[in-house]
Amino acid sequence: MIGRHEWAVTAKQPSLQGKVALVTGANSGLGFETACGLAMRGARLLLPVRNNARGLVAVENLKTRCPTAEVDLLTLDLSSLESVAACAAVVAHHTNRLDFLINNAGVMAPARRKETQDGFELQFGTNHLGHFALTYHLRPLLEAAAGGGVVVTVASLAACKGSIHFDDLQFRHRYSPFGAYQQSKLANLLFARELARRAGDAGWKLHSRAAHPGWSSTSIVANGPASALPGPIGKVEETLGGVVLRIMGQSAARGAEPLLYAALSPAARDGDYYGPQGRAERRGLPGPAHVPPEALKASTAERLWDVSERLTGLGW
């Protein structure tokens, strides 16, 4: 068994030769580092991206880091249920099984309320409903994997302060940038745990776990609240945010370790949550993470699942 201490130094274990992995949001940050970790272990990568130009740059950088990487670039806009379904159909043409699905891509705290193409609040629609739908469409490929495919859904420390606003899921009445973000990340955690429960009860041949990166220095801060501020102010906010994350947090590469741990470690268990083991789970080696009380409520998880089915039109 690979312990937490050994995990950081066993960069090429376990071997993933012959395995297929799909990582959302892999053009930068946590997704890119997670994809690198999987490629270094020999996995074939399917990388769905919204911006093809950025995707090509990411593939070039990934192959610089791991020259033997086998990568297929796909198109995916998680803010569109039509795009999610189309991407899943393309994935089925590329492979007859999926060993790993890393639900990582996300939007963070835009200053003004925005909607997806389907009319959902952008963060709830992208971070949660987009991945809910993608996992639904890819379930046959996950169940076709030997031993069942592993789904890792990326939550956040923000989930600890979140709640599911069933009376206003789309934040139409009073929009809060971080309130909506916290809701979406709590939804990610609830989804991962409920998927594990339902898979166990129904005998679905797949595994579901959740992970968070602690405080990791990635572009989600620059692309989120800082991007809406006037040029000079936004740059200052982005710089200050990056400095704080570097001092009190960790790099994107270290932040990706809990995601890889959840996907690959023999110690990882379905329905469990993984993150850094340092102070307040902001940084450190990967291991079990604290599950906030809201994420432990079975009634909330079941209700969110039912609402998500209704909103996406997808019945599991």
Whether residue 274 lies in the annotated active site: no
Out of 181, 261, 273, 274, which one is annotated catalytic?
A: 181
CB neighbour list of residue 252: distance below 8 Å, 6 or more residues apart: 29, 30, 32, 33, 213, 216, 217, 218
- The answer to whether 184 and 214 have CB atoms below 8 angstroms apart is no
- Which residues are marked as active site? 181
